[in-house]
Amino acid sequence: MIWDLAAYLVVLIIISTVIWLYDVFYLEPKRKAALTRLSENASNTDYQHVGQIPFFVDLARSLLPVFIIVLVLRSFLVEPFRIPSGSMMPTLLVGDFILVNKYTYGIRLPVLNWKVLDINQPQRGDIIVFRYPENPATPYIKRLVGIPGDKIEYHHVNKMLYVNGEPILQVPLGAYIGIGSSADMTQQKAEELTEHLFNKKHSILIVPEKRSPIPQTISSWTIGEKQYFVLGDNRDNSLDSRFWGIVPEENLIGKAFFIWMSWDSKLPNCQLLSPTSCINWGRIGTNLDS
């Protein structure tokens, strides 16, 4: 079991439910019995004091539905994430806040992560959020490029991707110009390209002068059943399947589909005392599923 927010919500739901049941079957009957023992001459203050619901019971009863609603939303519908690094530039920038569809790849029980209903299968080109295989408590976000049965090759010299022996077309768009936290890629002299991953197109960044830390010229992988191969769109600045291998199906969290906020403290006009000046307004409302 992984101790994330869902696990803490389940614990809070259990505690709140136990407190509520304790009140229903023990404390509430005692309050009613005490009220019936009061004489007709008792003051309203006496009635209010004897019939008062304990604070911890009232708090538990009030918060229980909130905990349940939040757990259902985050576990079965959508979950928000914040992008902490530039590994998915130019598609996702540092400071982007995204929404992840939790049900598109199937319904899973919270905490236990057992799939109870299959819905759709991940497709090449999807931006997926998953539990990092080497530390499942850490969520990662990358682009899915290899599905079960695929043979993947990556050529480290010309930085080309091959899927089942077919080279994936890359169309140069020119030098990448970034601002704020993205300016680092401009300094690295990154080039932006459109990659045609079969029926899906997306932008990637390549730094032509940057050499791969992997010694071999070509790396290849055969993707097994219930396994997936992922790459960052920022190809020369991404820790992905080229380094730590495949993503097991049970590690999938969901599919990123929407940017609902983008906040970058390194934007030229950003002033921390004026938070709205740090918002990258042009990115809000970006559909990642197009």
- Average pLDDT, rounded, for the chain: 93
pTM for the predicted model, two decimal places: 0.90
- What sign has the CA pseudo-torsion 183, 185, 191, 196? negative
Which residue in 251, 260, 274, 272 sits closest to 83, CA to CA? 260
- In the structure, what pLDDT confidence band is assigned to residue 14 with cuts at 50, 70 and 90? very high
| 31 compared with 240, residue with greater pLDDT | 240
Question: How far does CA 184 lie from the centroid of its chain?
Answer: 24
Q: CATH code for 83-283?
A: 2.10.109.10
Q: 71 φ, ψ to 5°?
A: -65, -45
Which residues are known to be catalytic? Answer: 87, 142
Per-residue model confidence as pLDDT tens digits over 120-160: 999 999 999 999 999 998 999 999 999 999 999 999 999 99
Which residue in 243, 262, 35, 22 sits closest to 154, CA to CA? 243
Average pLDDT over residues 153-169: 97
Q: Is the pLDDT of residue 283 over 90?
A: yes
Q: Is the pLDDT of residue 50 over 90?
A: no
Per-residue model confidence as pLDDT tens digits over 62-91: 999 999 999 999 999 999 999 999 999 999
Q: Is the pLDDT of residue 21 over 80?
A: yes
Answer yes or no: are the C-beta atoms of 6 and 111 closer than 8 Å: yes
**CA distances to 18, 76, 129, 241, 259 from 82, in Å:** 34, 19, 11, 21, 10
CB < 8 Å & 24+ apart, contacts of 278-287? 280/93, 280/95, 280/180, 283/93, 283/96, 283/259, 284/259, 284/260, 285/258, 285/259, 285/260, 286/258, 286/259, 287/257, 287/258
Average pLDDT over residues 170-184: 96
Q: How far apart are the first and last CA of the chain?
A: 34
- In the structure, what pLDDT confidence band is assigned to residue 34 with cuts at 50, 70 and 90? confident
- In the structure, what pLDDT confidence band is assigned to residue 111 with cuts at 50, 70 and 90? confident
What pLDDT does 273 receive? 87
Average pLDDT over residues 23-28: 92
